[in-house]
Amino acid sequence: MTDSGHIPFIDEQRALETVCGTLSQAPWFAIDTEFLREKTYYPKLCLVQVATPDMVACIDPLVLDDITPLLDVIFDPQITKVMHAARQDMEILYHLRGAVPASVFDTQIAALLLGLPDQVGYGNLVQELLGVSLHKLHSRTDWSQRPLDEAQVDYAADDVIYLAQAYQLMQEKLRESGRLDWLADDLRSLSDPALYAAHPGNAWLRVKGANKLSGAALSILQALAAWREEKAQRLDRPRGWLLRDDVLLDIARHRPGTPQALGKIRGLHENTVRKHGDELLALVGQAADTKPAPFPARKLRQRLTPAQDAAVDVMQAVVRLVGEENGINPAVLANRNQLEQLLLGNTDVPLLQGWRKQLAGERLQGFLEGRLNVRMSGGALSIT
């Protein structure tokens, strides 16, 4: 263990085992990670910070030979892991072990039930709940560089010190309001491996502009995007370093059949043509005669009539009113797409499940069936 001021910096195996022994006895602990991915496909884990009400430590995975003891406590389903905006941290853990931990509490998700803004940042959460203003001096630190100085370690530790305090306060507030159980389904979904697995066959869905293609052009894009994803994963390099999205789209549209035609694609580097040209041309030729995979149903949104669009506006107003009445951010109740689906008769939406149904879903159904009215009363919107 290296002495870094008052924060233990764990870079020796024995010290790691001691810290993990403490964590294994705790019912919960706060955790955050620092990582880089500018030059890699997979995020490079550079630092792990952990805290309970009684301890805090920064763990150095770049120096330690084996972080299995740490992963073991993180993946212990009996211990709650407290994170803020957990998706990126969970993605890192997924790539480390091919699975994601259960029993995760995301303070960003929980904040919605306390009336805080949608996707509230960690600094704003700490300011709102604890009255502490966190400095951002080291927000652009290259966490892969060693040694880290005392100020950097202190900055990293703050990400879990105040997270642990915020969690305790949020638990208390949610328990008092009877809303702690409301989070269960939302938090459980964070442990779905499908959220973090990047399947090459689905890579085309992340290409901006894919929805403008059809037929052979779409088939070619799908093949090119899958090839790029597989290559990026194998080489551990960013997708854009191989081929940018706009280049993929241009190849798909122009369907080059020769190295000369391929070389005329704007933005396609000559080195890429030299190294991968034959592969790319083969993919274009094969995919041009293949039927494209269909867009997922959720990508195809039905165009609403002006009257229907106005009705959704009213439904959004109802959702905002319900949120205000209950001190809840309306974003946690429903988004506009879900309201559109409900208007069109789709009942398979979160708004008609569990506590959301009791709070807002039944009211909206009443409005759509003509049993409830939305009107102005005393200068304010009311539902009768």
The pLDDT value given to residue 184: 86
Is 159 an annotated catalytic residue? yes
Is 65 an annotated catalytic residue? no
Q: Which residues contact 115 (CB under 8 A, 6 or more apart)?
A: 323, 327, 328, 329
Q: Which one of 34, 106, 154, 340 is the catalytic residue?
A: 34
Mean pLDDT of 311-328: 92
Q: Which one of 41, 94, 122, 155 is the catalytic residue?
A: 155
Is 94 an annotated catalytic residue? no
The rounded distance, in Å, linking the Cα atoms of 96 and 45 is 9
Mean pLDDT of 60-86: 97
Q: How confident is the model at residue 136 (pLDDT cuts 50, 70, 90)?
A: confident
Q: Which one of 89, 106, 154, 158 is the catalytic residue?
A: 89
Q: How confident is the model at residue 1 (pLDDT cuts 50, 70, 90)?
A: low
In SS3 terms, the chain reads as: CEEECCEEEECCHHHHHHHHHHHHCCCEEEEEEEEECCCCCCCEEEEEEEEECCEEEEECCCCCCCCHHHHHHHCCCCCEEEECCCHHHHHHHHHHHCCCCCCEEEHHHHHHHHCCCCCCCHHHHHHHHHCCCCCCCCCCCCCCCCCCCHHHHHHHHHHHHHHHHHHHHHHHHHHHCCCHHHHHHHHHHHHCHHHCCCCHHHHHHHCCCHHHCCHHHHHHHHHHHHHHHHHHHHHCCCHHHHCCHHHHHHHHHHCCCCHHHHHCCCCCCHHHHHHHHHHHHHHHHHHCCCCCCCCCHHHCCCCCCHHHHHHHHHHHHHHHHHHHHHCCCHHHCCCHHHHHHHHCCCCCCHHHCHHHHHHHHHHHHHHHCCCCCEEEECCEEEEC
How many Cβ atoms from other residues are within 10 Å of residue 282's Cβ?
Answer: 12
User: Do the Cβ atoms of 367 and 357 come closer than 8 Å?
Assistant: no
Q: Which one of 11, 32, 60, 91 is the catalytic residue?
A: 32
Mean pLDDT of 20-36: 97
**Is 379's pLDDT higher than 80?**
no
Is 122 an annotated catalytic residue? no
Cα angle 134, 137, 53; round to 5:
40
In SS3 terms, 75-108 reads as: CCCCCEEEECCCHHHHHHHHHHHCCCCCCEEEHH
pLDDT one-digit tens code per residue, 268-296: 999 999 999 999 999 999 999 999 999 98
| pTM for the model | 0.86
How many Cβ atoms from other residues are within 10 Å of residue 310's Cβ?
Answer: 11
Report the side by side order of strands in the sheet with 7-10: 2-4, 7-10, 55-59, 44-52, 28-36, 80-83, 104-106
Say if residue 101 is preceded by a cis peptide, omega within 30 of 0.
no
Q: Which one of 11, 60, 158, 159 is the catalytic residue?
A: 159
The pLDDT value given to residue 5: 52
User: Do the Cβ atoms of 68 and 260 come closer than 8 Å?
Assistant: no
The pLDDT value given to residue 376: 78
**Is 141's pLDDT higher than 90?**
no
Q: Which residues contact 378 (CB under 8 A, 6 or more apart)?
A: none
**Is 302's pLDDT higher than 80?**
no
pLDDT one-digit tens code per residue, 167-205: 999 999 999 998 988 888 889 889 999 999 999 999 999
The pLDDT value given to residue 137: 76
Could you tell me the CA-to-CA distances from 351 to 92, 107, 330, 361 in Å, in that order?
31, 21, 11, 5
Nearest CA-CA partner of 153 in 165, 141, 170:
141
Is 229 an annotated catalytic residue? no
Q: Which residues contact 306 (CB under 8 A, 6 or more apart)?
A: none
Nearest CA-CA partner of 161 in 89, 277, 232, 57:
57
Tokens at 217, concatenated: 């052009």
Nearest CA-CA partner of 92 in 117, 122, 67, 119:
67
